[in-house]
Structures are given as C-alpha cells and as structure tokens.
A and B are shown apart, each in its own frame.
Chain A
Amino acid sequence: QPQGVSSREILAAPSVRKFARESGVFLGNVIPTGPNGKILREDVERFLAGADHAQS
C-alpha cells in the first residue's frame, strides 16, 4: 500500500470504504472532494476511471 497518507486522516463512509475495498482501491490514493475532506463514492469511481485509463 502506498505511503504518505495515514489511515487516521482518511474520512469515508463505511459504504464508500466497502466499495473501495471491493474495487481494490487504497483510499489514501484517492483525492477527496466531499465536505471536510471526505472521500465520496464518485471520488473512488473517478480514481478507478483514471487508473483504468492509465493502464490502457
């Protein structure tokens, strides 16, 4: 898992955490756009789209 972001600083609802977990995404790599720095489901989706794009 990438370093830099401590798990203490990551804010995400359990549903978003589950989605990220099942998608194989480490939330520390995702840029949050929600209130107070919260990671939203869309942020994970955006990351996934970007990661897929980078791989192709």
Chain B
Amino acid sequence: MAQMTMIQAITSALDNELARDPSVLLFGEDVGQSGGVFRATDGLQKKYGDQRVFDTPLAESGIAGLATGLALQGFRPIAEIQFFGFVFEAMDEIAGQAARMRFRSGGRYTSPIVYRAPFGGGVKTPEMHADSLEGLLLQTPGLKVVIPSNPYDAKGLLISAIRDNDPVFFLEHMKLYRSMRAEVPEEAYTLPLGKAAVVRPGKDLTVVAYGAMVHTALKAADQWSKQKGVEAEIIDLRTISPIDIETIIESVKKTNRAVVLQEAQRTAGAAAEIVAQINEHALYHLEGPVKRITAPDTVYPYAQIEEEWLPSTERVLTGFEAALAL
C-alpha cells in the first residue's frame, strides 16, 4: 500500500496493465516523452518504450480512429483525449464506429478500447476544458462510462476498464486529480464496472452523485447531520453507464426520498435518466418527486464565475432540505 493521489493511482493502473499485457498500448497528444499534461503517463514511455507508449499528431478523430484500427488488429488501446471538451472531434470514431463494432460484425470483431479524458470544473481552466459531456456518451449503446471520485476507485476501475473487452470511456475529474490522497495498493486489483458504492449510510434521504459532486454531497450531508440531525445516504455511482439501479432502489426503499446531484447542466449529464429509472422501479416507495441538483442550462461559464455556477455545498444543502420537505 502507498498513499496516492488520483493521478498517481491512474499512472499506477496504467503501469500495472502495460506490464501485465503486451497488447496494451497507450497513446495520445504528449502522453509519451512529456508524460502527459497532468503527468498521468509520466515515466511510462521510458519504461515500456515508444512502441507501447507514444505521441500522436494533434487530431482527436485520428487518435480515436487509430484506437479502432489497432483494436481490430488485436491490441488493447488506451487512447487519451487531452480534454473531454475536445471529444466532439472524435465522436464518430467513438460512437459511430468503435461502440458499434461488436454488433456490426456479429461478434467477429470487438473494440477493447479505453478512452481516457480529463474534465470537470473548479480549477479555472480555459474554454472547453471543464465541460461535463458524459450525457453524450450515456446515450451511446455499446459504450460503458466510468467516472471515479477517489484514488482507490480510480485504479481499480481503470484496470477493469482496460481488461473489459468492449469500449469504456474513463472520465477523470481534474479537481480530484490531486485534491486528496488515499491508501492504494501498488499491485493490480479490479473493481466491478456498473457497481455503485454507498459512501455514507443514512436513513432520511438518498443522494445519488458521481465525480466531484460526491465530495460536495458528503460535505453537505455532514453539515446537515450536525445542524439538523438529518442523515443523507450518499451513493457514489462510479459507473454512469450502465447505471447500478439495484443499489439505488435498495437505498430508496429505506429512505423513501431521493435527489440526484450532478455537475453537468440540468438537461445534460445522467440525472434525468436516474430519476426516470427510480420512477420506474421505486415509485411506490417514494414520498414525493425525485429532484435534481445541477448546474444551470447555460454554456460552461467563464473561469471567473465558475464557483457561482457549479453546485455549491450551500446549494446542495438547500436541495436536500427541499427534497425532505416534499
């Protein structure tokens, strides 16, 4: 075990899998010699050579297409999109090609690809770096979408993603890269994709969250408990596609109330889908409607005002109160 930040846990996962499986390849813009803009691939080219870890030209569609082609030739590509905001350029290769390969070929070909991309607000990045575009991937059949919230989960989920035989989009929140350290094993371990975690038990309200919002939810819940003695149960979704509806329903049966919290705009993200599934599966356990706590439906804001725009602890607490009053 070692104390690791999320970025170190990610590097450790990549290191483990490059060592374990010679078909694993790692590529993207500046991931090789430079070690990545966030140091996620630091030292890996030196250790495994430029045939395994390499830089590509500055072209996201080319990078994603390269991953599809290499996967068809038996490799297990890990392709980095430098910032998730640049995914638009690669959407056809991801959603129109790789995600459909198994279906299109009747199982003859598969796409064991991992796309890694940083995203997320709160670190004052320039335009199109922080956007939460996970909702675009959520509606793509054939693709799994993973968003870890801490170093331990990040490593276990990334190793599972690399070993998965179908394409997985692995989204890394920039604010979480170095905001905490946790005990993480140096050796490889896996966490199941599609399985949520109850990160704070409670009996009064179910809160479904993912990414950085898990920490905002935890902060708000602790404050709530201290001030009002009300206990929120927090579920860290970890995988937003597929959604672990069983864990959510188990919790709603206990609390009879739920809110969904996301950093993305109200009409984007995964919240609406989660609300719909709770309504389908647990309506007769609900005291009132399931509410969403989200960012406003605008373009991601200028860096100077992002703290006003992102769901704050105060706004989340107000949302909790509203859900309890229903």
Task: Enumerate chain A interface residues (CB-CB to B < 8 A).
Answer: 7-8, 10-14, 17-18, 21, 38
Pick from B253, B254, B256, B284: contact of A13, CB below 8 A: B284
How many residues on B have C-beta within 8 angstroms of the other chain's C-beta atoms? 10
Q: Chain A's nearest CB lies how many Å from the CB of B112?
A: 40
Q: Is the CB of B289 within 8 A of A14?
A: yes
Binding site for A on B (CB under 8 A): 253-254, 256, 283-289
Contact call B253/A8, Cβ cutoff below 8 A: yes
Are the CB atoms of A14 and B254 closer together than 8 Å?
no
B286 contacts across to A, CB distance below 8 A: 14, 17
Question: Can you name 16 extra interface pairs (CB under 8 A) apart from A14-B287, A18-B287, A38-B284?
Answer: A7-B254, A7-B256, A8-B285, A10-B285, A11-B284, A11-B285, A12-B284, A13-B283, A14-B286, A14-B288, A14-B289, A17-B256, A17-B286, A17-B287, A17-B288, A21-B287
Contacting residues, chain B, for A10 (C-beta < 8 A): 285
Closest A residue to B284 using CB positions: A11
Q: Which residue of A lies closest to B289 (CB)?
A: A14
A35 to chain B, nearest CB (A): 10
Q: Which residues of A contact B288 (CB under 8 A)?
A: 14, 17-18
21 contacts between A and B (CB under 8 A): A7-B253, A7-B256, A8-B253, A8-B254, A8-B285, A10-B285, A11-B285, A12-B284, A13-B283, A13-B284, A14-B283, A14-B287, A14-B288, A14-B289, A17-B256, A17-B286, A17-B287, A17-B288, A18-B287, A21-B287, A38-B284
